[in-house]
Each structure stands twice: as C-alpha cells, then as structure tokens.
Amino acid sequence: MLRLRNVNSFYGNIQVLKNINVEISRGEIITLIGANGAGKTTTLMTISGIVPARSGEVLFMEKPIHNMRPDIIVSLGISQVPEGRRIFPYLTVSENLDMGAFLRTDSENIKKDMEYIFELFPILGQRRNQPGKTLSGGEQQMLAISRAIMARPKLLLLDEPSLGLAPLIVKQLFEIIKKINIENQTTIFLVEQNANLALKVAHRGYVMENGRITLSDSAENLFSNENVKKAYLGL
Amino acid sequence: MEYFFELILGGLTRGSIYALIALGYTMVYGIVELINFAHGEIYMIGAFTALIFTSVLTLLGFNEIAVIVLASLLAVIYSSAYGYTVEKIAYKPLRNAPRLSPLISAIGMSIFLQNYVLLAQTSDFLPFPNLIPEFEFIKPYRHIIGSPEIIILLTTSIAMVLLTFLIKFTRIGKAMRATAQDRNMAMLVGVNVNRVISITFIIGSALAALGGVLIASHVGQINFYIGFIAGIKAFTAAVLGGIGSIPGAVLGALVLGLTESFATGYVSSDYEDVFAFGLLVLILIFRPAGILGRAAAQKV
C-alpha cells in the first residue's frame, strides 16, 4: 500500500532521513520505533508532504506521491495525527472534527461519522461545543485521532500517541487503535518511543537509528531481539 | 447635547472606515503573521479606480445609482486583484524566510505602489465626485448626520455582518481560522493553505477598496498619498484592538474614530493625532496584546 524507496529528507542542510526503505501492506499495523531525534517524525512528515523528500520515492497504492502537495496527499487517503496532537485551540470540538472531514463532500455520512465518534469517545460528545484548548491531554489525543478518522483515511499515520498521557488512557487509546484497524480496515503506521506498547499492537516493526532503518522484522521477533530489548524495552 | 451626538456619529463614521481597512491588516496578520504595509496602498488604488470608473460610466450615460454601484464594484474587484498579485509577487516567495524579509518586502511594495500611482496619475489632489445622493428623510436632521455618514455606517455594518458569517459558518472561513491557528496542521487535514492565504488577501483588499471609495466620495478629493495616512491609522486601530483579532480590529477602529472625533470637537483638530496615538501608547502599556488580543498561544 505504501512504499518508501531510498528516501532522503533534509531540514535545510541537515540530512535527517538516510536511504529509508519502508513497506506497508493493506490492513497492517506497522510500527516505527527509535530514540529521540532518530527521524521518526520526519519520516511521517515526508509521507504527508510537509517535508518533501529530496530524493527517493514515496509510492502510495503504486502511485508516486513525493512531489504532491500535502492537501492532495490527504485527498488520496493518508491522514496524520501529528506529535503533540495539534488540536486547533480556538475551534470547538465539533469544528475540529469538521476540519478533519474538510475534503469530504458527503455531508450525510460526515454527520454519521461524527455520531460514531461520539459513541467511541462519549466525552468528546459532551464537550462538542468547547474550544479544543480547554480539553485535557487525553481528550485532546482522542480528538486528534478522531479528527484524522473523520477523513476516512486508507492509511493512518500516528505520531507518538502515548506521549504525556496516563498509562490507563494510553491503554484505552491503543484498544481504539486496534479497533479502528480491524473495523474499518484502516492501515496504520505507528511511530512510538514506547516500544513495549507499540510492539504489542503492531504486526511488524522497523527500528530507526540516526536517520537509518537498522532493523525490520515481525513484532514478536523484535520483541525478543536482544539489541531491541536492551535499547528500547529497558529489559 | 446635539454637538455631542454629532461628534459620536462623526467618530463612528470615521471609525467604520478605519475598521474596513484594519480588517485587512488583522486578517493577514492572523494568517501569515505579516504586517502588510502595502495594504494602505490597496485602499488608495481602490479610490483611484473608483474615480476612473465613475468618470467613464458617467460619460457613458449611466444613471447615478448605477454609477455608484458599478464603480464601487469594479474598484473592489480591481483592488482585490492588486492584493492577490502583491501577495504572490512580494510575500509568497518569502513564506519560509526570516520574518524581517517579508516585512521589508511589504514596505518596498508600499513605496512602489505609491510611486506607480504618482507616475501613472498625478501628484496633485484630484477632485472626487460626491457619489452619494441626498436622502429626503434625512433633511430635518441635516445638522447632525448626512446621507454620506448613513451610507458609510450602513455599508460597513453590512460588510461586517457578511464577513462574520463567512468566517464563522462557511467552509473557507473555517479553513481560514484553522490556518491561522496552526498552518501545518491545516495542511495535514487537507487545506490548500496557499489558496486560503490568497483568499484572505482578496477579502482584505476588497474591504479596503470599499473603504477607499466611501471615504473618497465623502471627503471629495484624493491623491497618491492618502493610503499611507489611512494605512497607519488603520494599523493603529488593529493593534489597539489586538492584532489578529477580527472583532478587535472593529472595536479598535471605532475607539480610535471616536477618540479622534472628540479630540477634534472639544480640543482642536491639530491635536487629533496626539490623542489617537496617545491612546495607542496607553493601551500598549496596560494591555500589550490590545483590547481583545490574546497573548500568543503556547505551542505544546
């Protein structure tokens, strides 16, 4: 479904991604784990077209997308939940969700999807007329994921959804992520520092170090890999 | 007492014009964090275009009402095209440059447009015909308020209501607010940010041109330099109200208009600017973000 082939990305003169190769098939949950500054966020931003790749190819359903504008990429079916949630602070909860469905025109279904989200996260329904910035961290993360789902993406990019949240809420979130994957057949690319959690939900994983992919294997194998254990699982 | 009401109405009229221009400053600042110093020039170009179209349309034998409406409409369209082009030429290439660069580019654009009109037209003041007809029903109150004031207040109010509706309830309005709050995130939900920025410049320019036509017709003369002074005043109004805030710009403009009106009426017209800018200094000391401004949002 998504393929990154020898991708190199830069911030100014600094090369962040070095010959990245990633492959994601339909319906999978793939995780990308690595330390701070390894280039995980940049990988997602490159896929979304915010930090365009300087060389290499990004193929989505066999179509090259690395030269496309971010809004076109969204329209093809790739949505991202960026790091730090990035809720529109002065838009209400329902306006934030509306923005998620910005490119859709089927207003009947948008309404239905919004109801579905309020079922999934009742707290968002209660707060639908509150500005986004008044939500707690966990609520904002729920809203951020919901906003991305409102686009009915084929591929959902998640950047550190567990960051700064209480363990209980994190557990809830990961249940939902699994649910989205199974119920809607949404392919998920999950970037996480919390390797323990990520490897539990993912089918396969990639390990990133200093802008390079150093390992790629099934989640179970990565879980039992000695180096991964030492470096990322703290075992 | 009558004098007092006269001053209030005069102040509101003046404030309305400032508001029309200030909205352009504040909307553009809200979205690209740029003080568009060429904005006053768009207002001036609006006035000039209206003058040209008025002459042509009158010559072609259109009746009074048709001339006003068509000339204003054409001026608005023409100025919007200017605003759009200025953004594309002078600001878009500098979108990711340090913030000082587009600011300097804006000042350059302002000087360029002033001199362009100076060369293409004239350095003298040109008489501007009074486009607004005298209403019969206003005659008894003539000493307090005239038809131009009524038209200015009415047009401005309608423009404000339409703008509020656009920003609050339409798709493009929502996209504008989202872009102002978090540009990259807006891209990530599929907003074509370049288009939103263009539309913002177009709306701001249209409002400024409308202000240009109204005030030119009211004052009766224009020259290439009117944009500079009006621009500075409107910018002051926008800062007063809290730059980036749309209701703030309107409020700031009305406060500024009233202050000037009262300063002129009770002290002396020579002190009008002293009071206007004195007020700005006071507000900035006690409320640095402006009357309705909010302190810059902390990005987490």
Pairwise CA distance, residues B66 & B72, whole Å: 10
Q: What pLDDT is attached to residue B239?
A: 93
| DSSP 3-state of B7 | helix
pLDDT at residue B165 is higher than 50: yes
Contact B22, B234 (CB under 8 A): yes
Which residues 188-217 on chain A approach chain B with CB closer than 8 angstroms? none
Q: How many helices (H) and strands (E) does chain A have?
A: 10, 10
User: Contacts of residue A99 in chain B, CB cutoff 8 Å?
Assistant: 174-175, 178, 186, 189, 191
Considering CB atoms only, which of B171, B178, B299 is closest to A88?
B178
Pairwise CA distance, residues A144 & A50, whole Å: 18
User: Contacts of residue B192 in chain A, CB cutoff 8 Å?
Assistant: 69, 71
Q: What pLDDT is attached to residue A35?
A: 87
User: Contacts of residue B182 in chain A, CB cutoff 8 Å?
Assistant: 86, 88-89
Closest-CA residue of B relative to A140 is B300
Confidence of residue A206 (pLDDT cuts 50, 70, 90): very high
- Altogether, the residues listed in chain B come to a count of 300
Closest-CA residue of A relative to B300 is A84
Q: Is A85 on the interface with B (CB under 8 A)?
A: yes
Pairwise CA distance, residues B201 & B197, whole Å: 6
**A187-192 vs A155-159, strand pairing mode:** parallel
Q: What pLDDT is attached to residue B295?
A: 65
The whole-number average pLDDT for the span A116-138 is 94
Phi, psi (deg, nearest 5) at residue A19? 50, 55
Beta-bridged to residue A217, according to DSSP, are A205
User: Contacts of residue B191 in chain A, CB cutoff 8 Å?
Assistant: 71, 99, 102
Q: B2-134+147-286 sits in which CATH class?
A: mainly alpha
pLDDT at residue B144 is higher than 90: no
Pairwise CA distance, residues A206 & A225, whole Å: 12
Question: In this prediction, what percent of chain A has a pLDDT beyond 70?
Answer: 100
Q: What pLDDT is attached to residue B223?
A: 92
Contact A80 B188 (CB under 8 A): yes
User: Contacts of residue B300 in chain A, CB cutoff 8 Å?
Assistant: 84-85
End-to-end Cα, chain B, rounded Å: 54
Ramachandran sector of residue A85 (left: φ over 0; alpha: ψ -120 to 50; beta: rest): left
Q: Is A50 on the interface with B (CB under 8 A)?
A: yes
The CB density around residue B143, as the number of other CB atoms within 10 Å, is 9
Phi, psi (deg, nearest 5) at residue B287? -140, 80
* pLDDT tens per residue, range A52-83: 999 999 999 999 999 999 999 999 999 999 99
Smallest CA–CA distance, residue B41 to chain A, in Å, is 32
User: Contacts of residue B185 in chain A, CB cutoff 8 Å?
Assistant: 82, 86, 88
CATH number for the domain formed by residue range(s) A2-91+153-233: 3.40.50.300
User: Contacts of residue A133 in chain B, CB cutoff 8 Å?
Assistant: 297
Sign of CA dihedral A160, A163, A165, A168: positive
Q: Which two tokens stand for residue A158?
A: 């998640």
Considering CB atoms only, which of B175, B181, B189 is closest to A89?
B181
Pairwise CA distance, residues B17 & B218, whole Å: 11
Pairwise CA distance, residues B186 & B176, whole Å: 9
Smallest CA–CA distance, residue B258 to chain A, in Å, is 31
* pLDDT tens per residue, range B191-210: 999 999 999 999 999 999 99
Confidence of residue B99 (pLDDT cuts 50, 70, 90): confident
Q: What pLDDT is attached to residue A201?
A: 93
Smallest CA–CA distance, residue B214 to chain A, in Å, is 34
Pairwise CA distance, residues B300 & B164, whole Å: 29
The whole-number average pLDDT for the span A106-119 is 93
- Altogether, the residues listed in chain A come to a count of 235
Q: What pLDDT is attached to residue B300?
A: 36
Contact B182 A88 (CB under 8 A): yes
* pLDDT tens per residue, range B49-96: 999 999 999 999 888 888 989 999 999 999 999 999 999 999 999 998
* pLDDT tens per residue, range A186-202: 999 999 988 888 999 99
Considering CB atoms only, which of A69, A88, A100 is closest to B181?
A88
Q: What pLDDT is attached to residue B148?
A: 84
ipTM of the complex, rounded to two decimals: 0.92
